[in-house]
């Protein structure tokens, strides 16, 4: 008995795709042209879609029907689109989105060291809220309560690191959804050597992603040379640094000054965090721009073309 031959991948013209997905032809063309949702091949008669295009378009249609904006999800891969569907959020859930913000449940999950529950709760909220709402209504309050809990001894360093890991995962999703489509260079985010608290800089990067700005996230405790190399290689438009240690010493400010002195002309260095706010004159003397609040940071992002 001869082995069965593999079935060749389907090739569908646009009229067939429109019928199979339930998406009008004009809408299909708009999703491709404006958002790059799929990139079909072509023959002498026009577009030809494969099975992967068909599956993704079906997922996109179902998510748009549930209230998701096509501009936010068009560039996601099938696994991420599937996860959004698994969240089980219908349009009426979006009407009560303010009630969906459950910081108490998040903090209880941190108490239990339950990282999957934290990821799951954040994922459901990100499916309901806009990126900006997610940052302001969930991430920032959550971050502040975790930081306060750490200072009061309720949370351990390990729990803070667990939350940082979860927020980094969420940042990755935001970056993929909100990636700038005009090829603009990103902003570099880091903390100087010795600065291991990452929550603030992660939130700052999320806010940039929510505004459609490119994000180059380096994380915490970065040598100055690595920050400068990232700026040079990416053509970054600005650097965002966080200074949080209350015992901030001259080495941290020297790192800020080294970044300011080493980056190309025209690239600004924004510095925020509790320690920076406590020593504003020294931050400015280092040549950096002090950002005292996340509201001020959002204004700075607007000046760079951020859309809020």
For residue 188, the SS3 value is strand
Q: Are 187 and 216 in contact (CB under 8 A)?
A: yes
Phi, psi dihedrals of residue 188, rounded to the nearest 5°: -95, 130
> Can you list the domains of the chain with their CATH numbers?
14-86 (1.10.1660.10), 97-303 (3.40.50.280)
Per-residue pLDDT of the chain (308 residues; tens, 9 = 90+): 444 434 345 688 999 998 888 888 888 888 888 888 999 988 878 889 998 898 899 888 888 776 677 887 888 888 888 777 766 544 444 444 444 577 889 999 999 999 999 988 888 787 667 777 888 889 989 988 998 898 889 999 899 889 999 998 888 777 766 666 555 668 999 999 888 888 889 999 989 988 888 899 999 999 999 999 999 999 999 999 999 875 655 678 889 999 999 999 999 999 998 888 888 998 999 999 999 998 899 999 989 888 76
Residues 245-256: tens digit of each pLDDT: 756 556 788 899
Task: In the chain, count H helices and then E strands.
Answer: 18, 7
In terms of Cβ atoms closer than 10 Å to its own Cβ (0-12, 13-18, 19+), residue 158 is exposed
Residues 223-249: tens digit of each pLDDT: 999 999 999 999 999 999 999 875 655
Task: List 190's β-bridge partners, or say none.
Answer: 219, 241
Return d(Cα 246, Cα 228) in angstroms, integer. Answer: 25
């Amino acid at each position: 008995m001869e082995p069965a031959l593999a079935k060749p991948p389907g090739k569908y013209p646009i009229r067939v795709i429109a019928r199979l997905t339930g998406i009008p032809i004009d809408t299909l063309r708009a999703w491709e042209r404006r958002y790059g949702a799929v990139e079909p091949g072509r023959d002498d008669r026009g577009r030809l879609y494969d099975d992967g295009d068909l599956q993704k378009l079906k997922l996109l249609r179902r998510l748009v029907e549930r209230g998701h904006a096509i501009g936010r999800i068009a560039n996601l891969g099938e696994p991420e689109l599937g996860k959004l569907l698994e969240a089980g959020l219908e349009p009426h859930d979006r009407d009560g989105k303010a009630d969906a913000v459950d910081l108490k449940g998040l903090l209880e999950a941190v108490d239990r060291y339950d990282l999957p529950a934290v990821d799951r709760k954040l994922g459901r909220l990100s499916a309901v809220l806009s990126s900006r709402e997610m940052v302001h209504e969930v991430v920032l309050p959550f971050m502040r309560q975790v930081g306060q809990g750490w200072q009061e001894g309720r949370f351990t360093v390990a729990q803070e690191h667990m939350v940082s890991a979860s927020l980094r995962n969420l940042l990755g999703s935001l970056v993929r959804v909100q990636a700038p489509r005009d090829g603009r260079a990103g902003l570099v985010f880091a903390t100087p050597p010795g600065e291991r608290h990452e929550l603030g800089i992660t939130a700052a990067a999320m806010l940039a992603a929510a505004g459609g700005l490119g994000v180059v996230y380096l994380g915490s405790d970065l040598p100055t040379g690595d920050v400068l190399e990232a700026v040079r290689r990416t053509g970054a438009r600005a650097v965002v640094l966080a200074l949080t240690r209350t015992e901030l010493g001259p080495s941290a400010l020297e790192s800020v000054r080294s970044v300011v002195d080493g980056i190309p002309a025209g690239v600004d260095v924004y510095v925020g965090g509790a320690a920076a706010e406590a020593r504003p004159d020294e931050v400015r003397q280092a040549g950096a721009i002090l950002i005292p609040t996340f509201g001020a940071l959002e204004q700075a992002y607007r000046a760079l073309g951020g859309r809020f």
